[in-house]
Every structure is written in structure tokens, then in C-alpha cells.
Amino acid sequence: MSLSVLHPSTPAEAAAAHRDPATAFIAGGTALQLSWRSPAPALTLIDVLALEPVHGIALQADGSLRIGAAVSLETLRTHATVAARAPLLAMACDSLAALAVRHLATLGGNLGWRFGDTVAALLAHRAEAELADGRRQALSDLLAHDRLPLILALHLPPPHPEEHHFYEKVGHRAAFTPARIALAVAVCIGMDGRLQDTRIGLAGAGLSGRRLLHAEAWLNACQAARLGAADRGLRAAVAADLPADPASARLAARILGGRFGRLQAGDAASEPATSP
Amino acid sequence: MSTVRFKLNTQAVSVSCAPDRRLLDILREDFGLIAAKPGCGVGRCGACMVWIDDLPANACLVMAFRLEGRSVRTYEDVAADAASAPVRDAIARCGALQCGYCTPGLAMTLTHLHQQTPRPDREQAASLLSGNLCRCTGYGGIQRSIEQLFPATPPLSADNSGDSQ
């Protein structure tokens, strides 16, 4: 048996086909096929691009932004509404792959890979996944599944008007390599200069997408201006979030400490940065 | 085996093959179109660049089943089009090639960028070329061709509120 492709016409049909463990959803396929050795495995690909609900970017009546899972990474990178309503996602796509790969690759595919830069951004934006039956589930909960179900779209709540964002990707080269870590941060600063509602999404090589909940809790109620890159409390909190990877924890803590240390009220740190 | 029908340059074609066969192999082996070059095979080097529905794409990453109903243009067709003359001229004048292996892919990306409205500026164009690697030139000639083809200052903000797949 060689590789075959199914073309379901409805989400329900695609989800039903996926109950067979020898199947995989495919959209752009830019990452999926790189995991095969020739010849291709005995696998049935479930083509999701023909499904209508996986396309399009639209503002919803409740103010959230709905992004179809099949939207290309290049569309996300250059889309004015995404830049305004999901800035971390736009930043992530700006330092992800190259133009021609971004034309092929999709948000859902990057998410399904689990280690993709967009996952960090989606988590910091509190994204919810829209599933085949129309239900919505927090992406952070969904990522706990061993095998991700069909995701039709991502719903992102509107950012707080005073929210600051920063995104940083650290790789072995400036471009075109999987990130050691990608960090996406959304945070508000209260009238008293204290951090509030901090959300930190992280993904990277060998690090599936996750929120850094210990670090978030530690940072909330800190004075932004008093943080530094060597802050022991922050280092300990990030280490608790990444217990199996102390090197990445040190790296993440240095980035967070440095960025938060420079973050002053009224000084939005929203420039994407890719460190070589 | 399955049959896919698509437009290749100016012609409607059909190919019967395994669904995961690479577009790069179809072009070179079935149609003798060898401008797209096999390089890294994993979408990093850009030597196999084609346009699918007028957008640059790595032919090594596109499986046959994805071609149904699409339009594929290769450098053979783009190079024969007068619209690519400014890019071909810049590559030649600026010494933006040595062995030539990466040149068709590079020209495909440059031509796409040069035909965009608004045209990207030099910094944007250089960044958008990051998926086309060259092992000979040291990028000096390529940088000179970018300076010849693209404006020094950024264009007014381009609002892409369209949707793609």
C-alpha cells in the first residue's frame, strides 16, 4: 500500500476519516512531507483545502478575529487586519520561512506541527480553535492532545487597547532555520507601573507550543521598570515552566528580563526582532 | 496512480502518477522543462522556484495531487516574456550570476517582486529573496541588481486584505 489522498467535502467527513490512525490532515504539506523518507509511507492524507470553512479572515460580531486554518502564512504576514488585531501573529510570520514557502504553508499546518512560531503567537493572543463540529476550545487545552483533531479556524479575542506586544525568535542563524525558541508576549501595564494580564507563548525546536504560566504569574504585579535580564525570580519561574530544558529556560529568561526591563508605560515594544 | 489536469505555461496538460510525486520531477522528467533545478529538496534553496497561480512556490514541495486545476509557470515561459526583460537585464549587467544554477529560481522571485504594485523597496526585496540561495556570487552582484530594480525608499503601505490558500 502506498500513499493515497482523500478529498472530503465536509468537516464531518474529514473528522470521521481521521479516526483511522493511519491518516494525517494535509494542507500545504511543506513540513509534513519532510518527515518522510522515500518512498512515502503507507498513509492516507486527508486534504483539508477543499473544505469551505478553513478559508478566509473575518472580523466577527463579537469583536474576535476568525482566521481560517488554511490561510497562508504570507497572507497573514501582509494582512492589514491581522497586523492590527493579531500583531504577534503578523510578527511571527515575518520571521518565518521564506516567501515561496509562506505561499504554500498554512496557519493550520504550522499549528499541527506543534513547534511552529505561529503557535507561540496564537497562545499569547489567547486563541481558541474552532473544531469540526463547530465547538470552540482554548488552543492551550487542545495542544495537550496527543493527536490534534481537525481545526477549521482560529478565533482571537480583540487585544486590549493598551496592550503591549513583543515577539522574539532566536535561532542559530538570522533566517531560515527552526527557532531555538520563539517567544510571543502580550502584556498590559497598570497605572502604577505594574504588569497585568501577562501572556507568554513559547515554541521552538523540540519544544511544542506552550504558555509559560509560572513566568506569567511571577511577572504579574511586578514593576516593569525594575526587571532585569538576570532577575533570579524570573529565572526560577521560567525554569519551572521548562523543567526538562534548562538551556532554553535560561535563554527565555534572559530575553524576557531584557525585554520587560526596557518596557516602560507608553513605550510599546512592538518591534519584531530576530536574533542571530 | 491518479490523473491531475493543470495549466503548464501556455498549455493545458494532464499527468498520471502517484499523488505525492513532486512537481519538480514532473517538470523535468515528463516535460523536459529543466530551468527549475533540484537543489536542497526541502524548500530552502529556491533553485526549483516556479509560479503557481502567479505566486512563487518551491516545486520540490508541491505534490502532484495539489496541481489539479492550478496554473504553473516555469522560467522557460517567464524568460520568454518581455515583462521579465528588466530583471534579466539587471542580472546580466550586474554580474548577479556565476555558475547559473540558482539563476532561474532567483529570476523567478525577482520578476515576481518587480511586477508587484507597489514595488517593494530594496530592503524589502532583499529580505523577500531570502529563500533563494547562491553559492557563487557572494550576493554582491545580486545586491547590485536589487539596487537597479527596486526603489531606495519604502512604498506607501500596501494593504493586502485579500485572502489566499
Separation of alpha carbons B75 and B79, rounded Å: 6
Domains and CATH numbers, chain A: 4-156 (3.30.465.10), 163-263 (3.30.390.50)
Give yes or no for a contact between A90 and A102, defined as CB atoms under 8 angstroms apart. no
∠ CA A81-A194-A64, nearest 5°, is: 25
Most confident of A22-36, B122-136, B149-163: B122-136
**Chain A interface disruption, residue of B1, B4, B20, most A CBs within 10 A:** B20
Strands A128-131 and A65-68, sheet pairing: unpaired
Q: Which residue of A has its CA nearest to B63?
A: A29
Interval B130-145 mean pLDDT: 96
> Residue B164 above 50 pLDDT?
no
CATH class of domain segment(s) B2-75? alpha beta
Contacts of A68 in chain B (CB under 8 A): 163
* Mean pLDDT confidence for B147-165: 68
Alpha-helical segments (H) within chain A: 11-17, 73-78, 80-85, 87-94, 99-104, 107-113, 117-124, 139-142, 213-219, 232-241, 246-262
Who's near A117: CB < 8 A, 6+ residues apart? A92, A93, A95, A96, A110, A169, A179, A182, A203
Contact between A222 and A194 under an 8 Å Cβ cutoff? The reply is yes
Q: Is A154 helix (H, G, I), strand (E, B) or coil?
A: strand
pLDDT at B136: 95
The domain limits of chain B are 2-75, 81-149
List of chain A residues with pLDDT < 70: 1, 37-38, 173-177, 225, 228-230, 264-276
Read off the pLDDT of residues A1-13 as tens digits, 9 standing for 90 and up.
588 999 999 999 9
- Contact residues of B toward A, CB < 8 A: 2, 18-20, 42-44, 46, 49, 52, 55-58, 61-63, 65-66, 109, 128-132, 157-165
User: What pLDDT score was predicted for residue B162?
Assistant: 45
Q: Which chain B residues have a beta carbon less than 8 Å from that of A29?
A: 61, 63, 66
- Fold of the CATH domain B81-149: DNA polymerase; domain 1 (1.10.150)
Count the alpha carbons within 13 Å of A259 in the hemisphere toward its beta carbon. Answer: 27
The β-bridge partners of A164 are: A187
Of residues B65, B132, B164, nearest to A5 (C-beta): B65
Q: Name the least confident of A225-229, B109-113, B159-163.
A: B159-163
